[in-house]
Amino acid sequence: MRTERIIGISLAAAAALALTGCSLSTSPGGAGAKGGDSDGKISIGFSQATQQSPFYVQLSEGAEKAAKDAGAELHAADASGDVTKQNDDIQDLITKQVDVLLVNPVDPKGVKAGITAAESAGIPVVTVDRPVPDGAAAHVGRDNKSMGALVGERLAQELGDKGGKVIEIQGDAGGAVARDRSAGFHEAVEGNDKIKIVEGPYCDYIRSKSVTAMQDLIQTNPDVKAVYAHNDDMALGALQVLAENDRDDVLVAGVDGLMEAVEEINTDGGNYIATALNDPISLGDTAIDTAMKVQKGGDVEKNVDAGTGLVDTGNAADYAGDGTFAPGKPQ
């Protein structure tokens, strides 16, 4: 397998992390007091990386529902993809005296200031979706390397002995999810030396950025045979550009089990062939359950795996439904 690199969009590293006050979006309910709200409810702070992707919107909704069902108060903040704002948000949640902190980090290393501040305040931290190097009592996520491998194996099978050029549209620069989804995919196809991966730009899991990137990539790589994107939203953006250029000969695969992608896979004669399950609703539910166990001092695994699976043309009909994402099990 040969690899080409294309200079893409990169995220600037945060140089200084000032923990100053900022606006905070919260769910209904007053500020928590240490040890729980005044009515005895556990107070959970949730620092979300962004709401610019359907996955993260659904992750937040899953967490909100789980907290409500558990009788806990959830105070949520949206960092809007800005690690400095995320550290500010975490400081605000600490000031509100939440009992436990749930963090989906914008930048696993850049959020260290916020994690350290929570530790100093005696507030346990649980990360979700993206792990941090240290400081968290537990991490709730899925095996992103396995996701990339599942999709890579299926795509390699479809390309067959002829192989061909595969454009890889990447998630976020320096992110553990993007790194693992890339590594799993590369390892799955490396046995076929006829497959050549072109590493495209980082599009931050956002469809509009993928559309812009693919418009250039299809011009510079007219011989492309397939596109692999680190999430379905970006893969669907690539699919849009391919359709606009009458390139239904190019295969497409993504990750996350976005229902729109599942429906494309379930379409006869379509060129979207595979995705990997990553139901955000159940992930949010598991994250809240884990955070509450940590706050109560219960036994919790350091890494809580929410599980995954492959959706392809052979089983897509079993997962099709009304939700935004395919459920963790066939419907």
For 58-73, what is each residue's pLDDT tens digit?
999 999 999 999 999 9
Q: Which of 48, 99, 94, 95 lies closest to 73, judged by CA?
A: 99
Residue 4 lies in a domain: no
Residue 129 lies in a domain: yes
The per-residue DSSP string of 145-192 comes to HHHHHHHHHHHHHHHGGG-EEEEEEE--TT-HHHHHHHHHHHHHHTT-
40 near 12, Cβ under 8 Å? no
Q: Which of 84, 141, 143, 149 lies closest to 112, judged by CA?
A: 84
Q: What is the CATH number of the domain that holds 223?
A: 3.40.50.2300
Q: Looking at the structure, tell me whether residues 115 and 79 fall in a common domain.
A: yes
Residue 239 lies in a domain: yes
Give the domain extent around 158: 144-277+310-319
The total number of structural domains that make up the chain: 2
Task: Write down the mean pLDDT value for the chain.
Answer: 89
Indicate the pTM of the whole model.
Answer: 0.75
Residue 52 lies in a domain: yes
* 272-276 vs 100-103, strand pairing mode: unpaired
320 near 154, Cβ under 8 Å? no
For 151-201, what is each residue's pLDDT tens digit?
999 999 999 999 999 999 999 998 888 999 999 999 999 999 999 999 999
Q: What are phi and psi of 86, to 5 degrees?
A: -65, -40
Residues, the chain: 331
Residue 14 lies in a domain: no
7 three-class SS: coil
For 287-321, what is each residue's pLDDT tens digit?
999 999 999 999 999 999 989 999 999 999 999 99
Provide, rounded to the nearest whole percent, the portion of the chain with pLDDT above 90.
82
Provide, rounded to the nearest whole percent, the portion of the chain with pLDDT above 70.
88
Residue type, 34: K
**pLDDT of the residue at 330:** 76
Q: Looking at the structure, tell me whether residues 173 and 232 fall in a common domain.
A: yes
Q: Which of 190, 196, 316, 195 lies closest to 258, judged by CA?
A: 316
Q: Looking at the structure, tell me whether residues 314 and 180 fall in a common domain.
A: yes
